[in-house]
Amino acid sequence: MVTKTTRPIRVLVAKPGLDGHDRCAKVVAAALRDAGMEVIYTGLHQTPEMISTAAVQEDVDVIGLSILSGAHMTLFPRVKKLMTESGRSDILVIGGGIIPADDAEALEAQGIAKLFGPGTATTDIIEFIRSWAEKRRD
């Protein structure tokens, strides 16, 4: 009997820009790992170019961006654009941090799939990623 095996969902968690606060990103990364996903954490002060290069090299399914510095309207779209330019528009790009509702709406219109604000349960993030992955695999 042959069973179908699938690899774990691979997630790159990144902190773009000059934001030096990474506690939440590490909490989310640990929760995703504990949920059975493979997680690559790039660390602080990543450029969009560094993030997109790592995402392609690591063959990830998801990029999770975390930012508190207010530069989300510049950095998030830049990562999304670089992923499209590299031929990897299939990678889900999500984000989190302090993002005003109007900005969140604009970012989602630019292709950022979902934004998670302060107080979001990690189970909500896990469920969103799993639901996306299931639809993609079907």
Asked, for residue 58, whether it belongs to a domain, the answer is yes
Q: What residues make up the domain containing 75?
A: 10-137
Answer yes or no: is 52 within a domain.
Answer: yes
* Residues 35-48: tens digit of each pLDDT: 999 999 999 999 99
pTM score of the predicted model: 0.94
Residue 4, in any domain of the structure: no
CATH of the domain at 105: 3.40.50.280
**pLDDT tens digits for range 48-73:** 999 999 999 999 999 999 999 999 99
Q: Could you tell me which of 3, 131, 11 has the C-alpha nearest to residue 63?
A: 11
Domain count of the fold of the chain: 1
